Amino acid sequence: MDVPEIVPVMTLPGTVFFPQSLLPLHIFEPRYRHMLRDVLRNNRLFAIAQLDEARRAEIGAIEPPHRIATLGIVRACQKCDDDTSNLLLQGVCRVEISEITRELPYRLIRVRPLTTSTGGNHTQLEIVRLEVMRLLQVRKRLGPHGPKGMTQFLDTIEDFDTFADLAAFNLCECASFKQRLLEELDTRRRLQLFAAQLKQDIEVQRMHRKLQGGLADDHVAHN
């Protein structure tokens, strides 16, 4: 797909979008309703960028986006009676934002598509992918995480880059860490970072269980 040089963008707090992932959105703000009408008449493409909370205090900063975002394509859209819309956006590719070219009636950005690299051979990538799967299974046994059936679905994905992105999007809860994974273009390194985070999550869950003892979740305060 040819990526346009200028694309619309939604800058959202706590939302990190990844290539190949599916993001449901409810469009209700007037600026984004205007954007969606134009997008549907054109190429159905717009980007999702996470709001950069660290830059919000900068002078003149208005909804500052993180530098790396993801371009998506509208796969399905349903308009509601109140002129809002529900849509499903599928990630296409990572993009680097070089500048904001317009703010009104909605934000436009100049972007450059980014390409990932494997960071290793097939065997090296398979080893770390299997480690991620093992850790996901361990974390799942300690407590529910992510959409039902997602771990099993990930086990069917053979492409390492797609596996890494879908795992991060669906099974990583920390927005700042997800942004770090989005910005990592080395697939093997991205998987290694995710595995390290899973190990930390598992240790926290095990400690929580140990401290909780035999008490039910709704009686932890009595421990």
Residues 105 and 128 reside in one and the same domain: no
Distance, CA of 136 to CA of 156 (rounded, Å): 14
Q: Is the pLDDT of residue 221 over 70?
A: no
pLDDT digits (tens, 9 = 90+) for 64-83: 999 999 999 999 999 999 99
Is residue 106 pLDDT above 60, yes or no?
yes
For residue 24, the domain's CATH number is 2.30.130.40
In a domain, 219, yes or no: no
117 touches 185 (CB < 8 A) = yes
Identify the pLDDT of residue 206.
86
The verdict on 137 and 199 lying in the same domain is yes
Tell me, what amino acid is at 18?
A: F
Q: Which domain holds residue 170?
A: 122-212
- Are 99 and 153 part of one and the same domain? no
Query: Do 40 and 90 belong to one domain?
Result: yes
Among the candidates 64, 86, 113, a domain finishes at: 113
- Which residues are within 8 A (CB) of 122 and not within 5 positions of it... i.e. 6 or more apart? none
Per-residue model confidence (pLDDT) at position 50: 98
Among candidate residues 69, 86, 113, the one where a domain is terminated: 113
pLDDT surpassing 90 at residue 132: yes
Is residue 220 in some structural domain?
Answer: no
Predicted TM-score of the model (pTM)? 0.90
Same domain, 136 and 50: no
Q: Give the whole-number percent of the chain exceeding pLDDT 90.
A: 80
- The string of pLDDT tens digits covering residues 10-65 is 999 999 999 999 999 999 999 999 999 999 999 999 999 999 998 877 777 789 99
Q: How many domains does the chain have?
A: 2
For the chain, the average pLDDT equals: 92
On whether residue 68 sits in a domain, the answer given is: yes
Sign of CA dihedral 158, 68, 21, 150: positive
Please indicate, yes or no, whether residues 56 and 99 belong to a single structural domain of this protein: yes
Q: Is residue 13 domain-shared with residue 102, that is, in the same domain? A: yes
Judge contact between 15 and 175, C-beta under 8 A: yes
Whether 221 is in a domain gets the answer no
> Degrees (nearest 5) of the Cα angle 37, 170, 145?
140
pLDDT value of residue 212: 64
One domain for residues 18 and 102: yes
Rg (CA), the chain: 20
